[in-house]
Structure 1
Amino acid sequence: MLSVATEIVPEISMMSANINIMPDLAQQFQIESVPCLLIKSKDGTSSKQYRFPSVTELVERLRIERDR
């Protein structure tokens, strides 16, 4: 779903991480479960999304973050 969403909103930078290999990252961002979409805003704040209901909703969320 994320790969489709990032094709629709290509101006959003995406990275992925395996928290089994990078447990410090999970601790730093207090990731409670996976999958987790961690969104870092331009102002340095971050938010997490654990539920991925549909590509449409993910695209909308990415567009909102892009326009902030």
Structure 2
Amino acid sequence: MNHWTIEDWQRTQAAEQVAAFYLYTPMCGTCAVASKMLTVIETMRPQLPIGKADLNYIQEIATEYEVESVPCLLIQRKGQPVEKIYAFQSVPYLLEKLS
């Protein structure tokens, strides 16, 4: 999973495709598990744009999208943010959300 900047996220919004932006913090244990789940998804769906960023360094995103906790997966479709996921229940659950 590539590290994204705010500009990278905005570029994927302009592309008007399904994309996900994974927000985490380094000391978050749940975030480590979520990262592994997203790595599996990346392997299964390599064409799906998924980026990640340490929320400590992109606080503008936290404010703009009203991120309440980490891990957080921002999902966008057709250039518009449509969902925030905080509970990464399972790989099949996330695949369904990203379809």
TM-score, normalised by the number of residues in structure 2: 0.58
Aligned to 2:15: none
Q: Could you list the per-position Cα deviations for residues 17-52 of structure 1 after superposition, in whole angstroms to 9, with x for gaps in the alignment?
A: 111111111111111100000001114233101001
- Give 5+ residue unaligned stretches, structure 2: 1-36
* Identical columns (%): 38
Aligned to 1:66: none
SS at match of 2:50: coil
CA contact (8 A) 1:40 1:46 kept: yes
SS at match of 2:53: coil
SS at match of 2:67: coil
Q: Does 1:29 align with 2:76?
A: no
- Give 5+ residue unaligned stretches, structure 1: 64-68
CA contact (8 A) 2:74 2:81 kept: no
TM-score, normalised by the number of residues in structure 1: 0.81
Q: What letter corresponds to residue 4 of structure 1 in structure 2?
A: V
CA contact (8 A) 1:8 1:59 kept: no
**Structure with the higher helix share, 1 or 2:** 2
What is the root-mean-square deviation in Å for CA atoms of aligned residues? 1.3
CA contact (8 A) 1:38 1:49 kept: yes
Q: What letter corresponds to residue 49 of structure 1 in structure 2?
A: I
**Structure with the higher strand share, 1 or 2:** 2
Q: What letter corresponds to residue 26 of structure 1 in structure 2?
A: A
Matches within 5 A, 1:46-61: 46-61=82-97
Greater than 4 Å deviation, 4+ residue runs: none
CA contact (8 A) 2:88 2:94 kept: yes
Aligned to 2:9: none
